[in-house]
Every structure is written in C-alpha cells, then in structure tokens.
Chains A and B, each alone.
Chain A
Amino acid sequence: MNAMPPPQPVLEVERLSTVFDLRAGTVRSVNDVSFSLKRGEILGIVGESGSGKSVTGLSVLGLIEPPGRIAAGSIRLEGRELTTLGDAEKRKLRGNAISMIFQDPMTTLNPVLSIGRQFFEVINAHRTVSFATALDEAEAALVQVGIPAARERLSSYPHELSGGMRQRVCIAMSLINKPAVVIADEPTTALDVTIQAQILNMMQNLVQDSDVSLIWVTHDLSVVAGLCDRVAVMYAGRIVETGPVEDVLRNPRHPYTRGLLDSIPGDAEPGRRLRQVPGTQPSPLDLPHGCSFRPRCSQARDECKEEPASDQVGPDHFVRCLFKLGGN
C-alpha cells in the first residue's frame, strides 16, 4: 500500500496483529492486517462472524482490553502513532478525532439520561461548553441526521425513540466533535430495510458534506456494494482481498470472495441450488497452516500450505492467494 497518491491518508494501519491470550491458547483475531483510509473515503470491512472485522475496528479505537492486546503493527491517525498512547491520551482521542457507531443503539445510549444530557456529556468530555450551547449544537446535529422536531427530542429518553431514530441519535453523537474517522460496526444490521436505506443514504450525504472518513464493518456484501468506495474482505483474521468495491465485486480474485458472492441468493437463479462453500470457519485456536481458507477451497493445492503473500492484481487491488481466480 505504498503507492498511495497524495493527499496523505487520514488513517494508516500497518501489519496490525491483535491477539487474545486465553488459557486454551493464543487467539490471533487480527493477523497482519494493513489498510489505509483517505479523507472522505468509505471503506467496508466484510467478513463472517469471527473473521476479526470487529476486533480490527476496536483495535483502531484502542478499545482492546486484556486478555486482548495489540501484538504488533502500527496505527497512525493523521501521522500520529496510536498503539503507543497511554490510556488518558487514548481517551482524549475517542469520541473526538475518532469515534464509533455500534450495532445496537439501545445498549449504546444511557437509558436514564435524556438525549440532550448525553450530548452534553459527549461534547463536554472534550470541550468546555455550557449546557445551553451543547443543546444548540446537539439540535443542529439531530437536524443533520434527519430527526424531526429535534429540539423536543433532546428532552426525550432513548426508550421513547424507535430503533431507527436511536441509531440516528448515535450517528449524530459520533459526529458531534467533528472526528476525522468514524468506525461503524454493523450499524444497520438490526434495522428494517426501509430504515436501513434511509440511514445508508444519510451516511453517504454526511460523508460527502463533512469530509469525514468512514469504516463500515459489516457481514453484508450488498450493503458494501451500495455504500463503500473500497472494501477489505477478511477471513480468519486476515484481509484476503482488498480493492475498489467495483473491481472486487465484479472481478473477485480470491476464492473466498467468490464464495461469499455466490452464496447470496438474490442474483442466483431461483429454485436452483446455490453454489455453496463446504464446511465452517476454522477454530481461531487451531488455524490451518498456510492459507486459512485451504480446507474449504476448491482450488487448494499442496502449495497452499505456505502462507500466500498479498499480491497486487490491479490498481489498489490486492489478493492473498496463490491460485487467483480469473487471472489474465
């Protein structure tokens, strides 16, 4: 990823490894992961449960707690190294330069504080403002995310809002301190499709207007297709393929990406069997040698017992596979 043209990326993650030291052994949740994010860019991180996509997001935020630790690699936000920061410095960053939107807005919001009070807390953690000023800012933020009667909503409590409204509040809160990077972890998974479409539409507009960079963690490739500029596909802790969304989805070069696309029933011929990938993800305690996808891969040969390197196959398109699909 050295061939990045100017302007400088906002976020650079290089060879990040996050491990959890458990009694049963060491789990390598994130293994040698590198990516970068330009200003105003939306990166989708896609994978199944246990692929390490959420842990990647939490690592960037510095939210990995023991028994987890960042074992290697570097995370640079606007040139500043984050992995070596102390707790107090990290706290200054979170919710400020870098913020997060979680999957379940009901557990993210405090049920006993009014929305306005929670905004005040988020703002006041980083800047000293009066309650009235905070409410004004919060109202503007709520209007921006499309909440009707925003001023009245500030005195509501989370349980008085619908799921979609709560998620809008969380999004407004994550943007209130004008972060450079927002990490969203499956924020629309719990929502209905019509509401999901509203949120995706809104996020696209917000990114365009405010120049924030967005990491969208999801298991849903079709959301990535409609929303993101670039995508990183993770399997068993590694990025197996990354590149511009259209390249990767139109011309997937890794058998796992191909398998993910083939498993989506939407575009397959109705009634026919879907092309399925056999087996399940390997246990993170007992990853196969070499390519982790090898036991499930139809292309696998003996050579796959060696760990494949990440090869460039197109502009900004990298694949970690010895026997890439559809090569020219």
Chain B
Amino acid sequence: MLAEIDRLPDESAVETATPHVVIRNASRNFVQKISAVEALLSRVGMNYADRVVQAVSDVSLEIPRGTAVGLVGESGCGKSTLGRMAAGLLSATHGEVIIDGERMDAGHAGMSARDMLRVQMVFQNPMASLNPRQKVVDIVTEAAVYHGLIRRRDRQEFAAELLREVGLPPDVLNRLPHQFSGGQRQRIGIARALSVSPEFLICDEPVAALDVLIQAQIINLLLELKERRKLTLLFISHDLGVVRHICDEVVVMYLGRIVERASTADLFAGPAHPYTQALFREIPRIGSGRRSYEPISGEIPSPLSPPSGCHFHPRCPCAIEKCSLETPPLIPVGNGRLARCWLPSV
C-alpha cells in the first residue's frame, strides 16, 4: 500500500493524513460501437471506428474523513459518472477507488456486498429512485433486513426511528411514495441511504429538483446528519451556492477533467482557473442587482471530440497558443489549491 502511495503523482499528494476516500487516476470511457452498416463500409476501406467518450479522465481525489467535497460542473462534465464510480455503481476503465484503505471499485474482485454498505448514494429525482409500489417502511428497511443488520420483526421500530431522524412523522410508515411531496420523498431517499449506517454518502444533485424553501430544509437536514453521524460527503451539484454552503472543499470539472480544486473559502475568495471564474461571474446572485452579463462565448464542446490541449481553450478569454497544443497539468497554485491552467491567476 505504501509503495502505491509513493507512486502517486505529486499533483494529487495533498493530504498527509490517511483520507477516508481515495480516487486514484480514475477514468471512465463509454464506447459507442459502430453500426452494422458502418462496419460494412469500413471493410471496403471507409473510415469508421468505435466512438469513445471519455466521461471521466484521470481524476484523482482524496476526501478526508468527516469532510464534504463538492463536485461542480455543467452537464456532460463527468461529475455524475465520477459519483457513480465512487459509489461502486460503475466500474472504472482505469484507476481505482479506495475506501478506508480497501479497493471498492465496482468489478473489483474480493469486495463483499457487506463492505459496500459503507458507501451509499442519494439521487436527484426521488420519484424515480423510490419504488412506487413499495411502502415507506419497506423502502427504508429492505437493505438492512437483507444484510442482517436488523431483525425482520424490528422493522417498524427501526423505520420509525430513521424517519424521525430525517424529520418525517412515524405515522407515514405505510404510505406509498406518491403520497408525499418532493421534499418528503427526498427525505425518504436519505433515510434509505442511512438505513445501513454508511460512512460515506454520495449525493447527486439532491436538491436540484426542489423548490427553494424545501431545498433549504433538505440542506439543513444534510448538514445536521453530516455532523451527527460524522459522514464523509461527496456532494455533486451544478449550484455553486449550495456547494459553498455545505462543502469544505470544491472540485470543478470540465469535460471529464478536474480543472480546479481548492478549499471552499479559497475558491470563493478568488478562483484561479478561467472556467471557474466564468462560472462565478455568470451565476445570478441576489446581491448583485440588475446588471449587464458578460457571458463567455460558445457552448460546451461535444465530449466525442473534445478540443485539443486544454479543453476550455476555445471559450477561454485568456487562451494563448500553447493552450490549444498542450494539456496543462493539474498543478499546485499555492495554499494547497490545484488548477489545470497554463496561466492560473492567483
């Protein structure tokens, strides 16, 4: 194990204490096979090949125990894919996920189902992630009973206790998901994740689908649970405001790569990467008043054919020639923060 840690590239060797969760050089490709017609055409000399999307590309990340790391980016940046890899729902094409010193990535032999309970996930859409025909009591106790954590006859009591913890009254135990509002359903989703006493919780946009008043309630609940249960959190969101409120550290992704990583306070004091700066500038804020926007131009390029060099260079206001030729490494830019840019502003 030690030898392996020595092999870590310098850029990711930031934490000195053993982190709870380590994601090391993880990549994930999705392959679109060529169609039968295209296969035929390529036999007669035409140029067709499998299309590969590198959804996550060489991402390394450590999460110290009891802290919350925010994963931020726009659609297609790979944040959800990375979350699913960390949860063991997707296998990594390269690299590994290590939790508590043990390899936990999906597809890795020698990992027991019981071990995997230490990692749980809360999903964005609680209507799609709860079985519509299961009663609440079954939803939140099924896993615990299956894994032998509680006895079947203790289910009611166990479920009532969990529901109390997430702020639902115990008299809803026999209801079905459709009888709840969006916020209440998300509370059920959280209760289900907590039912097997995980240490590491991955939240994939848990409040994105909720109204702002309900969103505040769920954010408060997550903060409370994090403290009470000493949870380690990976919090995936496109909303920098929510991330700022919950997370200790923020990782910004663009087209599969980490472009910046810093403590929340540092990042919000002054982002180093031009993309992060653009994100900050363009997020509407209450305090800013009516203003003229100065949006960065262009759209997120297709991940099927990402731009050469730095993925952000076609949209970047300060790109130089080098940016289109060479991919910048993720380098320290002071205070333990990392940025993937040839010209980081610190």
Question: Could you list which residues of chain A lie within 8 angstroms of chain B, going by C-beta atoms?
Answer: 48-49, 162, 164-165, 192-198, 200-201, 204, 219-223, 225-229, 245-246, 249, 259-268, 270-271, 273-278, 280
Q: Hey, which chain B residues are within 8 Å of A49, CB to CB?
A: 182, 211
Cβ contact within 8 Å between B244 and A193: no
Cβ contact within 8 Å between A280 and B245: no
Q: Which residue of A lies closest to B68 (CB)?
A: A271
Cβ contact within 8 Å between A200 and B293: yes
Near A by CB (< 8 A), chain B positions 71-104 give 74-75
Cβ contact within 8 Å between B213 and A192: no
From known contacts A198-B295, A200-B284, infer whether A263 and B212 are also in contact, taking CB-CB under 8 Å. Answer: yes
Per a CB cutoff under 8 Å, which of A204, A245, A270 touches B244?
A270
Q: Hey, which chain A residues are within 8 Å of B295, CB to CB?
A: 194, 197-198, 201
Is B111 engaged at the interface, CB distance under 8 Å to the other chain?
no
Near A by CB (< 8 A), chain B positions 235-278 give 238-242, 244-246, 264-265, 278
Cβ contact within 8 Å between B213 and A263: yes
With both chains docked as a complex, state the minimum distance between the C-beta of B114 and any C-beta of chain A, in angstroms: 33
B280-302 vs A: 1/0 string, CB under 8 Å? Answer: 01111111111111111101100
Q: Which secondary structure dominates chain A's binding surface?
A: helix
Total contacts A-B at CB 8 Å: 140
Per a CB cutoff under 8 Å, which of B216, B223, B239, B240 touches A262?
B216
With both chains docked as a complex, state the minimum distance between the C-beta of B102 and any C-beta of chain A, in angstroms: 30
Cβ contact within 8 Å between B212 and A48: yes
Question: Could you list which residues of chain B lie within 8 angstroms of chain A, going by C-beta atoms?
Answer: 74-75, 181-184, 211-217, 219-220, 223-224, 238-242, 244-246, 264-265, 278-279, 281-297, 299-300, 315
Cβ contact within 8 Å between B290 and A260: no
Assembly CA distance A266 to B212 (angstroms): 12
Q: Which residue of A lies closest to B220 (CB)?
A: A273
From known contacts A193-B74, A197-B295, infer whether A225 and B284 are also in contact, taking CB-CB under 8 Å. Answer: yes
Identify the 6 closest CB pairs spanning chains A and B, nearest first: A266-B241, A197-B282, A263-B216, A201-B293, A265-B245, A192-B74
Assembly CA distance A139 to B330 (angstroms): 43
Cβ contact within 8 Å between A219 and B293: no
Cβ contact within 8 Å between A266 and B289: no
Cβ contact within 8 Å between A194 and B282: yes
Q: Hey, which chain B residues are within 8 Å of A268, CB to CB?
A: 245
Output the residue of B289, B291, B293 with the most chain A CB within 10 A: B293
